[in-house]
Amino acid sequence: MIAIATNGPIYLYSHPTDMRKSFSGLAGIVRNELDKSPSDGSLFLFINRRQDKLKALYWDRDGMALWYKSLEQVTIAPPPSTISKSTASTCIRWVS
């Protein structure tokens, strides 16, 4: 298993992303639409329209790194825009 080391925040781009995009295309989305720097130590996640593919873009010590995951049966559920207090407490209990 390969671990992605990131000490910075994690950003999920909420719009469907063309998975043909590579380093330059995804870095352009980070700069132009998220108003962030792709080399600031953050992890940027992108999902496709069918929500069965995920790309992770981040700065690794000496350059950009890109990971690509294709799911066979499960889809990635986008995060809810609001979370109720009961849902939040359930998540906290699950994580701890």
DSSP single-letter state for residue 77:
P
Q: What is the pLDDT of residue 7?
A: 74
Domain membership of residue 54 (yes or no) is yes
- Closest residue by Cα to residue 57 from 78, 34, 41, 33: 41
Domain membership of residue 77 (yes or no) is yes
pTM of the complete model: 0.74
Q: What is the pLDDT of residue 96?
A: 27
The whole domain housing 18 covers: 10-95
Give pLDDT tens digits for 5-38: 667 889 999 899 999 999 999 999 999 999 999 9
> Mapped to the 3 state alphabet, what secondary structure does 23-41 carry?
HHHHHHHHHHCCCCCCCCC
Residue in this structure with the two tokens 């000496």, named with its chain if needed: 62
Give pLDDT tens digits for 40-95: 989 999 999 988 999 999 998 889 999 999 988 776 665 555 444 444 333 333 33
Q: What is the pLDDT of residue 60?
A: 86
Domain membership of residue 5 (yes or no) is no
Domain membership of residue 60 (yes or no) is yes
Domain membership of residue 35 (yes or no) is yes
Separation of alpha carbons 14 and 79, rounded Å = 9
Pair of tokens at residue 17: 């992303």
Domain membership of residue 81 (yes or no) is yes
Please state the domain count of the chain: 1
DSSP single-letter state for residue 16:
-
